[in-house]
Amino acid sequence: MAPATQSTTAAVLRAGKPRELLIEHRPLFPPQPHQVTVDVVATGLCGSDLHYFEHGRNGDFRVRQDIVLGHEAGGIVTAVGSAVTNVVVGQRVAIEAGIYCRNCDFCHRGRYNLCKHMKFCSSASVFPHNDGTLQTKMNHPAFVVHPLPDACSFEDAALAEPLSVLIHATRRAQFEPGHTVLVYGVGTIGLLACALAKSKGASRVVAVDINESRLQFAKLNGFADDVYCSAGQPPDDSAQPQTLQEREQQQMQRAKTGAQKVLSIFDNPQGFDVVYECTGALPAIQQSIYTAVTGGKVMLIGMGSRNVTLPLSAAACREVDIHGSFRYCNTYPEALALLASGTLPNIDKLVTHRFPLEQAQRAFELMSAGQDEHGNMVIKVMVGSGVPS
């Protein structure tokens, strides 16, 4: 390997020390033949990044060594390896975070998001970990770097990553114009689900959440046609059943009752053609099956509850298809084209706060709090170098 000729400044999460980010200066080596060097301009903070920051783990993946977080990013190519032909120095690009092997059966079948050898930026799923984009410069394989349309900003490049999650889910749902859509959860992913469904010709898009402010944001900015806040009083613990079977039966009854309330509020007793579950919360997952129309589809997108009890008989008898959706594949060209087209109105309003890289610690703390010192809602936080987009 050639000696390091540059350095990069990175926001590093310390292993075994949640909520502690250090700003470090690290050597940067010249790109390998199939790599490019990118000056990272903007990185959007994601829920998985926040889990690593707060808990030192995300699901089963524990941070075992210092790691640079961030995987929603765009920047400028500053150097190219000798074998690179798809981008040139000076080109604005979006960085696709997943580095797949291109040799396994999943990759050959066009489902590289399931690649068993995937190395994903800012993920502790492999060891050594693969560093992410919260740094000023990074080397990245050229085949997962995408030219940025002139109409796209660097923040658009960052939004292409979560938008890709929804494009992949929508393809799996076999979405068609005229479908009715219900979205559980209006964080960034849920809001993008609403926006994408509208752009693809949904006849009606509604959303459910427990956060009234987020719901009003979704409605006022045209992401959802109608909204419902499902926050309510917690169940009376004194009435809790004792056996596991009794508890599961009670959960199912609550889910069914809650779903009936949702369908009544939206005046749609038959249910919705496509339900996007973007929370990962047990009640919403269970309700999603009851709120889908007979023959409809439920897309499980949210990552939260690891093991849940589902009303499978209700799904089977009504032929409600339940689809898992994991990351994305072959979506970036469509995501960037959509972002450049202007057919996702108010998409720029998703970005509510911006910080320079040196203030990454503060950015994560704000995201964790959910609102800033003025009481303003936090949706998408961008961290970057400050290069104009």
Can you list the domains of the chain with their CATH numbers? 6-148+350-384 (3.90.180.10), 170-324 (3.40.50.720)
Amino acid at 29: F
Q: Cα(192)–Cα(198) distance, rounded to whole angstroms?
A: 10
Strand pairing class (321-324; 292-300): parallel
Nearest to 362 by CA among 41, 53, 17, 74: 53
pLDDT band of 59, cuts 50, 70, 90: confident
Q: Cα(80)–Cα(200) distance, rounded to whole angstroms?
A: 37
Strands laid side by side in the 6-13 sheet? 21-28, 6-13, 67-68
Q: What are the Cα distances from residue 101, in Å, to 78, 104, 115, 146, 275?
A: 25, 7, 7, 18, 32
pLDDT band of 309, cuts 50, 70, 90: confident
Mean of pLDDT values over 204-210: 98
| Residue carrying structure tokens 């979006």 | 94
Instruction: Determine the pLDDT at residue 39.
Output: 97
Q: Cα(132)–Cα(149) distance, rounded to whole angstroms?
A: 23
At a CB cut-off of 8 Å and minimum separation 6, what does 373 contact?
Answer: none
What pLDDT, in 10s, does the model give residues 369-383?
A: 999 999 999 999 999
Q: What is the pTM of this model?
A: 0.94
Instruction: Determine the pLDDT at residue 388.
Output: 43
What pLDDT, in 10s, does the model give residues 157-187?
A: 999 999 999 999 999 999 999 999 999 999 9
Q: What are the Cα distances from residue 307, in Å, to 281, 284, 304?
A: 11, 14, 9
What pLDDT, in 10s, does the model give residues 123-134?
A: 988 899 999 999
